[in-house]
Every structure is written in structure tokens, then in C-alpha cells.
Chain A
Amino acid sequence: MARMKFYCDEGRCIECLGCAVACEEANELPVGISRRKVVTVNEGMEGQEYSVSVACMHCTDAPCEQVCPVDCFYIRADGIVLHDKTTCIGCGYCLYACPFGAPQFPKDGAFGTRGVMDKCTMCAGGPEPTNSAKERELYGQNRIAEGKVPMCAAICSTNALIVGDEAEVSDIYRKRVMQRGKGVIGVPYGWSTAYKG
């Protein structure tokens, strides 16, 4: 059985924010909610600056699933961590438990109060019938069910963000490391192609 993983290659990410925007648009997220964030580290420091795209990492031992007081999380056989929005009470415990700050809370509850949690589903929807209107409204697209790559990785222009079975993802990354070395390579990926060709 495949074990689905995200990987963002910091040597390739050019902070174009394409993944974050594509995700928001594809899943019709409310304003102010981004399931995916692009973080730039060592900003402005020559040769040390790099960016990574971060969302729910779909942990094997997902702490959100462990702390949830209403047990609304479930982990699919392929490792995708999902939750049931009709069970969630929006308490925020998953956010406190998450190392990556993935859970977010749109203010769409009664009288504009904090509503139930929203997070990256790896474009795999939720517990509602696959590709039903309700699933789409609550969780966004179910691209996995259609055999498509999650929106963020599909849109990534430098192929920095890769997603798939862990063995294949690590194989791709291993090949890249063999070719160009590990980690950040000072000049952003594709710079020489774009400007010095």
C-alpha cells in the first residue's frame, strides 16, 4: 500500500506562492485561510536564503488525531490524515498539538465566532460520499479520488513540491541530491536558465 507524502525541495522552491494560491482557488477557501504557506528562511541573507512550502504533513503518528477531544480525525490506509467537520467542535487542540501550524479556524460559526477546523486534505476530500456536493463544500476538491495530483504539487512550476508514495518521492529527491548536492544552492533554482542562457 502506498504511503502518501509531501516533500518540498528547498533547493528548488522559488517562493512564487503558486501552491498556496492554487490551493485556495481550487478548494474555494474563505478569505484569510491558506492551507498551504510558503515560508522563507534567512530572508535577505546572501546565499543562505531559501523557501519551503508548508501545509499539513499528514504525520504517521498525527498528534492532532491523538489530542482531539471529539475524535473527529481519521487516518486513511494511504496515510492521508483527514477530519470530519460535522464532528469537529473547533476547540483548537489540534492546532496546539500540531508542529506545523496546519489547522486553521475560519470565523464562520454562529455570529462570526470561530468555526470548525479547516486544514489541508491532500486534495482527498473528507468522510462524505466521494465527489458529492457536500464533500466539495466542506473540504474542497477530491483530486486523489480522480487519480490527480493534489493542486499545490500539480501547479508547482519548479517541481519543488512533490507528492506521492513515499518510496517514489524519496527516490526523486535522492536523484536530485546525487546530481546537484544536498540542501540550498545559494542561487535560486532556475536562475541561470532564466537569466544567463
Chain B
Amino acid sequence: MYHMAGVQLTKVKGLPMKKLFIFLLGAVLLNAREFIGKVPLVEHAKEVHFTGSRLISPELLHNILHYQTWGELFVYLQVHWFRALFFGITVGVLVVFLLHYLIIGPKKFSHSGKGVFVYSVFKRVVHWTAALAFVLVIPTGFMMIFGKELGGGDLVLTARYIHSIGTVLFIVSFIPMFLMWFIPMLPTLDDIKWFLMLGGYLTKKKVVVPAGQFNAGQKMWFWVAMLGGIVMIGTGAMMYFQDFHLAILDRFGLDQIDLIRIAAITHNFLGMAVAALFITHLYMSLFAIKGSLDSMISGNKSEDEVKYMHSSFYKKLKKEGKI
């Protein structure tokens, strides 16, 4: 049809330029449309480099179709399990320790004498930095899990911010703590014996407990806090930054949103272990063994306590003539 118009144009001289322009534009557009129809603009659309937000993949429909893999699992766990497990584990641990305190009671050791110097100033500073981090992170974590009961809003929002700030403190203390305690925290044969008698905590009698500088319980806490801590930092960072791009995701065929879902699931389950052992650590140092907190304040541990609770360490010190 436009060819006919063209024929007309050549006949009529002195046609306004405007009309000619519109005609040319129309011709170009029509030709362009034919061109688009014949040649695919992009042969492999999926390989196109995407520079914007990866949060929802460039192909949103891919996310929607793959929702069943991780999305539904996250919803199922969050709706039915996370809150219940956190509540159950926390209450369970507290009840067990309350019963332990009432039935078996705390262990008391003589604090006379100079004691054994176990923690240098550096170690104490690192410990208390990590301790402050945990005191900030764990209660705020619980505040978010049970945000419904607290009514949400600014209170829980602030808790979320403090949760992130506490993490920074933990990151600071992480490397020195790992390096200074890595070797004494390695498992030994004593640990099996310790677990078999549950560290002597099930008897009122003062028994000699097989343990080096750290007993199996402390080691368990150390490794959960360190290896678990790395995972908690990593998964927490993913949830915190939310919108990031890891090239490696493409290699695993994983959408970014799925990675964050996996991170949230991991963070919750690991959080249960960390919270349970944190409460245990508090109970042991504050209540179960009277005065054991002193060693982390002054650096000196009661000789009597070392003799019974860390017998292998005591023997080693004696051999070296340090006592």
C-alpha cells in the first residue's frame, strides 16, 4: 500500500516535506517490523548479562515455577516448626538446669591459695568482646522470633538493628579467639570419657573428671560457636544485604532468592544449637560451679577446681612444675 502512495508522491510535485517525512518514517517502521520478525534479536536470551537487581531473577517466571523447591519448605518450617522448636529447646534447657540446680546442686571448690593462672588479659578481652556480642545477638534474635508476642514495631525493629551491630563485635573477636583456643580445643580421648560420665555433673560427689584445659562440653561450645558462628555470619549477611550477586549461583543453577531461603533455614536451625549451648555456658559459669566466673575476671582458676574438673590439665601442670 505504501508503494502505491510512493507512486502518487512522485507524480505530485511540491508536496509538503512533512508528508514526505511521515511517509519515509512509515516505510522504515514497516521494514523494521519485517526485519524483527525474521531475525531473532537475541539467540540465547538466558545468557544475557543482567546488571540490575538479582533478587528476583531476570526471568521472574522461573522463580515462580521453582517456588516449590525452597519457598514452600521455608514457609512450612517458619509456620510450623521454628518458633515451636526455639520455644521448646529454650524452655527444655532451662528446666533441665533448674532441676539440676535443685536436685544435684552446684559444685563448690576451695578458692584459697593463689590459683592457677589460665587466662591472659588478651584472652579475657577477646572472650568478653565475644560475650558482649552474644549478649547482644541472642536476646535480639529471640525478640525477632517471638516478635508477635512483643507486638512488633520499633521495639523489634531496633532489636533487628542491634542483632546486626552485635554481629560486627562477633566478627572482631572471631579470628583471635579461634587462633588462641584452636589447639587446646582439639578433641582428645578424655572427651569420650567426659561424655560417658557427663562431666561428673550427675553426682553430688566431687569426682575427678577427665579433661585437659577445656572439657568436652567447653569444646562442643567452642566448635559450635566458631564453625557455626562462621555459618551464622555468612547466612546472616545474605539476609542482611539481601540484594547481592554471586556469580557462583549461576553455576549451581540456583536463584538468589533460593539462596537466601536456604540461608534463613540454616540460620534458624543453627541458631537453636547456638542458643542452647549459650544458655548452657551461662549456667555452668554462673551457677553450676560456684566461683568459676572468677577465672575469666582475674585470670586465675581455683587450684581445687582444676584438680577435679580438669584433671589431665592438672597432672600436666604438676609434671611441668607449674603448681
Give the interface of A toward B (CB within 8 A): 37, 39, 41-46, 52, 54, 63, 66-67, 69-72, 86-93, 95-101, 105, 109-110, 113-114, 116, 195
- Contacting pair B148 A69 (CB below 8 A): yes
- Contacting pair A89 B75 (CB below 8 A): no
Interface segment among B104-112, B153-161, B182-190, B213-221: the answer is: B153-161
- CB<8 Å pairs between A and B, sample of 17: A39-B59, A41-B59, A41-B61, A43-B45, A44-B43, A67-B79, A70-B156, A88-B157, A90-B157, A91-B144, A92-B242, A95-B242, A96-B74, A96-B260, A97-B75, A99-B64, A100-B63
- Contacting pair A114 B56 (CB below 8 A): no
Query: How many residues of chain B get a CB closer than 8 Å to chain A's CBs?
Result: 47
Contact of A87 among B40, B71, B151 (CB under 8 A): B151
Q: What is the CA–CA distance of A45 and B164 in the complex, to the nearest angstrom?
A: 45
Contact of A69 among B147, B260, B261 (CB under 8 A): B147
Q: What is the CA–CA distance of A109 and B38 in the complex, to the nearest angstrom?
A: 50
Rounded to whole Å, the gap between the CB of B312 and the closest CB of chain A is 45
Q: What is the CA–CA distance of A46 and B242 in the complex, to the nearest angstrom?
A: 35
Which A residues lie within 8 Å of B260 (CB)? 92, 95-96
Rounded to whole Å, the gap between the CB of B146 and the closest CB of chain A is 8
Which B residues lie within 8 Å of A95 (CB)? 55, 242, 257, 260
B240 to chain A: closest residue by CB: A114
- Contacting pair B60 A100 (CB below 8 A): yes
Rounded to whole Å, the gap between the CB of B16 and the closest CB of chain A is 23
B148 to chain A: closest residue by CB: A71
Rounded to whole Å, the gap between the CB of B314 and the closest CB of chain A is 48
- Contacting pair B40 A101 (CB below 8 A): no
Compute the total of residue contacts between A and B using a CB distance below 8 Å: 117
Give the interface of B toward A (CB within 8 A): 29-30, 33, 37-38, 40-43, 45, 48, 55-56, 59-61, 63-64, 67, 71, 74-75, 78-79, 83, 144-148, 150-153, 156-157, 159-161, 164, 239-240, 242, 257, 260-261, 264
Which A residues lie within 8 Å of B148 (CB)? 69-71
B150 to chain A: closest residue by CB: A70
Pick from A41, A52, A67 the residue with the most CB of B within 10 Å.
A67
Q: What is the CA–CA distance of A195 and B26 in the complex, to the nearest angstrom?
A: 9
Rounded to whole Å, the gap between the CB of A72 and the closest CB of chain B is 6
Q: What is the CA–CA distance of A63 and B150 in the complex, to the nearest angstrom?
A: 21
Which A residues lie within 8 Å of B157 (CB)? 88-90, 109, 116
Rounded to whole Å, the gap between the CB of B82 and the closest CB of chain A is 9
- Contacting pair B264 A93 (CB below 8 A): yes
Rounded to whole Å, the gap between the CB of A185 and the closest CB of chain B is 14
- Contacting pair A99 B67 (CB below 8 A): yes
Question: Given A46-B37, A90-B157: A63 and B257 within 8 A (CB)?
Answer: no
Question: Given A43-B42, A114-B242: A101 and B55 within 8 A (CB)?
Answer: yes
Question: Given A54-B60, A71-B152, A95-B257: A89 and B160 within 8 A (CB)?
Answer: yes
- Contacting pair B152 A110 (CB below 8 A): no
Which A residues lie within 8 Å of B153 (CB)? 70, 86-87, 89
| Extra 16 A-B pairs, beta carbons < 8 Å, given A93-B78, A99-B63, A114-B240 | A39-B61, A43-B48, A67-B75, A69-B144, A69-B152, A88-B152, A88-B157, A89-B144, A90-B160, A91-B144, A92-B239, A95-B257, A98-B71, A101-B60, A101-B257, A113-B161
